[in-house]
Amino acid sequence: MANRLSVPLTTKTMEAKSVASIPQEDGWQFEPKWDGFRSLAFRLQDRVELRSRNGTALNRYFPEVVEMFAALPVTCFVIDGELIIVGSSFDTLQQRLHPAASRVARLSKETPATFEAFDCLMDDTGRSLLAAPLTARRVALESLFKRFGRVKRLRLSDYTRSAKTAQRWLEKSGGALDGIVGKRFDEPYRSGERAMIKIKKRRTADCVVGGFRYGTGTREVGSLLLGLYNAEGKLDHVGFTSGIPKADRPALTRKLTPLIEPPGFTGNAPGAPSRWSTERSAAWEPLKPTLVVEVEFDQVTNDRFRHGTTLVRWRPDKKPRQCTFDQLDQKVAR
């Protein structure tokens, strides 16, 4: 039995870079990309540590997961995975990052998290597998799971080496299934590097342009503020798109200026800069809800686009009132 970790607690996870499509050549292992908190689970005798992708301690936010790992019959390993809450949105998971221990304790019982494991960095003998190829790390991971037995809130992630199967998974993505990850199965674990690839299924939605922000230091349009009509018929702010070609901005500014008219959004309106907005000023110009754009997006959380969207085209053929939230409906996948 090892008496120290051969993989440091400060180890960073191997990251992924975005690509447009699933590679067709041999040499790839594909796995589901889960929509959760990436984390490393360290177990050495009675000690359990959950760390984020950059080494931040997570134990206090997920006590039920720490308890689960502490109860396992194997007392030496480091595994890489994703913390998810099965059947719930990413927003539910985010609620765990709360300073009040009482709230975390309550949520850990009401919406317990699951650890979806997909890599092994240290085996049950205490041997580091960082330099081992993925094929060997997967064997070690599956060996651990055989010894773990059936454990609630601990799952072994699927994988395939078939591009066709990976494509089928991608087509079913949405909700908890965020896309596909690809890894070279002959490569080591490259901590902190973007040595994997990720492919997401992009979707589109038609949105009302309810306002805009000027670009930093200019009086030209920098980003469009997007809205959708809710069940009460009010226009809610749902995100932004900023990929406007520089050459198009003067003409677009001239087009939008005559349409400036409050309130812009009659439901939830843009507020101060947050994870949903850019780092520009909170000031924005409201517009008459007459213009519609089609945007491309990947994930929705709490009725907003989680990231910035890509402007696809203007939709003069679309009536603003047709831009409703039903475009964003998605089932939560396993």
Given a contact cutoff of 8 angstroms between Cβ atoms, the answer to whether 138 and 126 are in contact is no
Q: CA neighbours within 13 Å on the CB side: how many for 190? A: 12
CA 84 to chain centre: 11
Catalytic residue among 12, 33, 164, 319: 33
User: How far is residue 153's CA from residue 315's CA, in Å, rounded to a whole number?
Assistant: 45
Nearest CA to 238 out of 288, 309, 289 is that of 309
Tokens coding 213: 């922000």
Given a contact cutoff of 8 angstroms between Cβ atoms, the answer to whether 202 and 181 are in contact is no
Write the DSSP string, 38-79.
EEEEEEETTEEEEEETTS-B-GGG-HHHHHHHHTSS--EEEE
Residue 235's identity, in one-letter code, is L
User: How far is residue 326's CA from residue 328's CA, in Å, rounded to a whole number?
Assistant: 5
Residue 166's identity, in one-letter code, is A
Judge whether 33 counts as a catalytic residue. yes
Residues 6+ apart with CB under 8 A from 245: none
Torsion of CA 164, 168, 171, 173, to 10 degrees: -120
3-state SS assignment for residue 36: coil
Task: State the catalytic residues.
Answer: 33
